[in-house]
Structure 1
């Protein structure tokens, strides 16, 4: 039984919401960040990069305290206002490829995360969990929702569609040409129906935002332990999420680039591959695989197709069927000697099938020796792996939609 509740969002004013909204801080280069802050005083980047004001790089707890100060200044200046009553928020994103995503921004339960009602499919790094927990505790807000997915639900979809017939509170287009729309759902009848429908759902899955979820859970544990009058209704019991139906979640693949052949010659490498794959040379024309357990490879100016010899590979778990894991188990680890996918400097990742051209150019210019392409994972695979209590390798999925910071804010 999932607990998904309305909350009082802090939001920018309609006139400047498009100026406030930003991509996640880490997704910008230094030059991009500085350019946006030079010319846009409303960007949320000013809040999360408070050292810009003093032309200083500030880190750790000192930075977190300044983040809180910048946030309070934005509120004092009227950039942000807090809704007067709890609400759900219907949210639509239409990207430049005309893909459309419709869902609800709401507060989801840290206890549900603890009880595995909200399930994960990726491992998290404890240091990052603790760092972001300290950040949340210090700044007192979260400005980027976790992306969750739930089984398609006709009642929730009908309420979203009915709400979207009204004039959107927000409608703005970002630099990357994705357009965002937001409507407040504050009719009590709708609120109760949405809450009741989510209570019928046994499991919700994290699509993107595993560290934010884990950090919010750690904050909940700390605050609950300190509070002798804990009721379960305090703001720290919840974290902000954007929930979309499974049918609208888009998963793209992350392809792999490797810097060397682990001391092997091209011929030796191909011979080792032959033990697990049927190999066909596809020449110079870019090739992408069309079905699971097939891979593309670019090596020495030529594309190859790799077809798994299934007699030599046993599918015992849902994870074994995941192509990112299969590639790791059959090539990256045993042949190329890459064991730590998260930290090994010899491997890099590029997302999307259109990036086969990027793989070709990266190998041709000598920066990498070989590149691999694969088919994307499916929502069904993601759920099966989570249900079995297993986790995907790093960079197994590139999930859409990509969310923006500063459009709705959840205060602790």
Structure 2
């Protein structure tokens, strides 16, 4: 069963919360982070992407992590962050395009990850894992949260929503129009009730933040070896959402070349694998294409190549296991590896990814410019499939899921020093 813990949260002062929070560290590159910082010197990117302010240094130089700590300390000294007087939970509420998402900010024990009460469905990359490990250790804080799902059998979601009615301590509206708000839960009885509700939940599932979770475990283990671990270092910060309350988008693929094939030859090869239909009148302002063939029992993709859209379908093998039944698995095993020579989707520079609710025009632009030979729009993976795979210790292919809402960094911080 799940154990969660309140903590003394750090958050921007209310008047500064419109400026301090930022996108997570891993959705912008160094140059994009630098551009954001030049527009807003209060941006939390100065902490989580401190390499953007030291462009002449290797991004893994010790000075990068020292800079992150120095800027974080400066922000606290200048009053950009305040720390709650006592331990609390927080409701993290996001309003976006008519939808409301409600999550709980809490700490989870490192031991829950180690014993697989917190379940993961992706592998971590060592370089990214090591980067966040050094960052957390140097800054002395979990500067980004792990996005976690729970199966709601206790009415937890509705209970949390009912608590998001008091005074908020932080609020930010992003350029996309999403409004993020933090409501603290400080009443001891309310805290005990929430802790008890989650004690009946059998597991948590990582939706986003696999590297942040593993890095938090690494920091605790390294500090334990050094003899300077404390209670807070044995816990990491997460935001917990009911698994059926979030959105999942497909994670599109863009490929730079056809591995020496002509376009007609490539389409012919695909025709040996899929049933192919050309599509007309595609709404390119949308983020996905509604399939002509309704979903269950079919692998389904939408291909953009040579200025045209095609729908690719194939019957799912009823004998296939849970991972082999995924569209991303079939695409890798039948197309990317044998036809295109892309055997390592995690590291092959010929393959790029575009996730989320971005318009199809963004994919089209990359192909039409000649940056890519084609793009494939993926259908979203079902959240119950993801949980089932995690329950069975399965590992999904990289870039299989894109979850909404996308959480901000710097709205809530968990100090471990």
* TM-score (structure 2 length as normaliser): 0.90
Size of the alignment, in residue pairs?
Answer: 406
Deviation at 1:165, TM superposition (A): 2.3
Q: Paired residue for 1:73?
A: 74
What does the per-residue CA deviation read over 1:135-166, in whole Å, with 9 as the maximum and x for residues that have no partner?
21121111211100101244433442332222
CA separation of 1:34 and 1:370: change in aligned 2, threshold 3 A: closer
Unaligned runs of 5+ in 1: none
Q: Paired residue for 1:270?
A: 267
Superposition map of 1:272-311 within 5 A: 272-283=269-280, 285=282, 288-289=290-291, 290-291=294-295, 292-310=298-316
What does the per-residue CA deviation read over 1:210-265, in whole Å, with 9 as the maximum and x for residues that have no partner?
0000111112222334449x8xx711110010111112121100111112222223
Q: Paired residue for 1:345?
A: 349
Unaligned runs of 5+ in 2: 284-288
Deviation at 1:111, TM superposition (A): 0.4
Q: Which moved more, 1:260-269 or 1:316-325?
A: 260-269
Q: Paired residue for 2:63?
A: 62
Query: Is the contact made by 1:284 and 1:303 (CA closer than 8 Å) also made in structure 2?
Result: no
Q: Which moved more, 1:272-281 or 1:68-77?
A: 272-281
Query: Is the contact made by 2:208 and 2:403 (CA closer than 8 Å) also made in structure 1?
Result: yes
Deviation at 1:99, TM superposition (A): 2.4
CA separation of 1:194 and 1:153: change in aligned 2, threshold 3 A: farther
Matches of 2:239 and 2:357, distance apart in 1: 26
CA separation of 1:155 and 1:385: change in aligned 2, threshold 3 A: closer
CA separation of 1:284 and 1:267: change in aligned 2, threshold 3 A: farther
What does the per-residue CA deviation read over 1:175-201, in whole Å, with 9 as the maximum and x for residues that have no partner?
221111111111111111111111111
CA RMSD of aligned residues (A): 2.4
Superposition map of 1:5-404 within 5 A: 5-28=5-28, 32-50=32-50, 57=57, 59=59, 60-95=61-96, 97-227=97-227, 234-283=231-280, 285=282, 288-289=290-291, 290-291=294-295, 292-310=298-316, 313=317, 315-352=319-356, 355-404=359-408
Query: Is the contact made by 1:315 and 1:321 (CA closer than 8 Å) also made in structure 2?
Result: no
Q: Which moved more, 1:52-61 or 1:357-366?
A: 52-61
Matches of 2:51 and 2:400, distance apart in 1: 34
Matches of 2:50 and 2:308, distance apart in 1: 48
CA separation of 1:334 and 1:404: change in aligned 2, threshold 3 A: same
Q: Paired residue for 2:286?
A: none
